[in-house]
Amino acid sequence: MYATQALTHLVPLAKEVDDNKVTPGVLGFIVFAVLAVGVWLLMKSMNRHMGKVDFVEAPDPAEASDAPVAAGSAKRK
């Protein structure tokens, strides 16, 4: 019952809005600016953390298990 009453009160207000002049306004700009600053700060933090990573690739276990080949002998498959 309350939802229908609220709708009947809001419908006349919606008809007063001109479709050609609807803009996001100041609140929309503020929300967009806050999101943009947040993304910039996250990217800056990610770059700083990725700079600290020291990645050394581990040797392939299949190659590490092969014994050193003596001079003059052939590898078995």
77 pLDDT higher than 60: no
**Per-residue pLDDT reduced to its tens digit, 18-45:** 778 878 889 999 999 999 999 999 999 9
CB atoms within 10 A of CB 5: 9
Do 69 and 75 form a contact (C-beta atoms < 8 A)?
yes
**Per-residue pLDDT reduced to its tens digit, 46-57:** 999 999 988 888
Q: Identify which of 25, 22, 24 has the alpha carbon closest to the alpha carbon of residue 14.
A: 22
Triad 49, 51, 55: Cα angle to 5° = 105
d(CA 54, CA 51): 8
